[in-house]
Amino acid sequence: MTQTKLLIIDDDPDYVDGIKSILEKADYSVDVAYNPKDGFKALESGNYDLLLLDIMMGRGAEGVMVARKINKDPKLRNIPVLIITGIREQIAFLFPGQPVHPRFLPTDELLEKPVDPKFLLEKVAALLEEAKAKKAE
């Protein structure tokens, strides 16, 4: 059986180092792109099984834009997307203490940084399982 392929699009090198090593220890193959443009290009050419996506990158909340673009692309929309974001920390001054609004995020699951390693692996496994089931239908 081939290794399950994951892509991370996140601009924070230290954070990426952390989750990449957690995922690799769990025997996933992990690629990384550090900006939305490289990320989308990789996604289009790479046959990934799951995407881990940051929000605040480049000009601003670009992760939302990427998620929306994936959702509109018939070739990509079946890839499960897990958003992992520190947005509430990064622009906490704007909406102090307020939650992320699920209705405006075309995504499968959202986790907020910092993420517990065990929880992360559970979520990734569950999303992959779900996608597999959907494909089998």
Partner 1 sequence: MAAKPTFSQEISNLLYASHGNPLKTCIQCGTCSGTCPVAEFMDQTPRRLIGMINADLKEDVLKCNTYWFCASCFHCTVRCPAGIDIADAMYAVKRYSIWHKTYSEDLVGPTFSETFVKTIARSGRSYEPILAPTYMFSMGIKEVLQEAYMATQMMLKGRMPVLPAKIKRLDNFKEMIRRIIPVGGAE
Partner 2 sequence: MKKFAYFPGCSLDKIALSYNHSSVDTAKLLGVELQELDDWNCCGATTYFHVDQLLAYTLVARNLAQAEKAGLDLVAPCSACYKNAYFTNKYIKEDPDLAEHINFALEGDDLQFNGKINVHHIIEIFVNEVGVEEIKAKVTNPLEGLKVAPYYGCQIVRPRKDGENLENPHFFEELVEAMGAEAVDFPYRLRCCGGSLIMTSRHAALDMVRKLLQNAVDSGADVIATACPLCQVNLECYQLQVNDEFGTTFKMPVMYFTQLLGLSLGLSKKKLGIGSELVSAVPVLK
Residues forming contacts to partner 1 in the complex (CB under 8 A) are 11, 13, 16-17, 31-38, 42, 56-61, 64, 87-88, 90-91, 93-95, 98-105
Shortest Cβ distance from residue 129 to partner 1 (Å)? 25
Residue 59 binds to partner 2 (criterion: CB under 8 A):
yes
- For residues 137 and 122, give the distance between their C-alpha atoms in angstroms, rounded to a whole number: 23
When binding is defined by CB under 8 A, the residue of 1, 94, 133, 136 that contacts partner 2 is 94
Which is nearer to partner 1, 14 or 137 (by Cβ)?
14
105 binds, among partner 1, partner 2, none (CB under 5 to 8 A by kind): partner 1
15 binds, among partner 1, partner 2, none (CB under 5 to 8 A by kind): none
Helix (H, G, I), strand (E, B) or coil at 51: strand
Residue 54 binds to partner 2 (criterion: CB under 8 A):
no
Q: Burial-class residue 31 by CB neighbours within 10 Å (0-12, 13-18, 19+).
A: middle
Alpha-carbon 87 to chain mean position: 14
- For residues 87 and 106, give the distance between their C-alpha atoms in angstroms, rounded to a whole number: 16
- For residues 133 and 35, give the distance between their C-alpha atoms in angstroms, rounded to a whole number: 31
Token pair of 60 as six digits: 């601003």
> Which residues would be at the binding site for partner 2 (CB under 8 A)?
56, 59-62, 64-65, 68-69, 91, 94
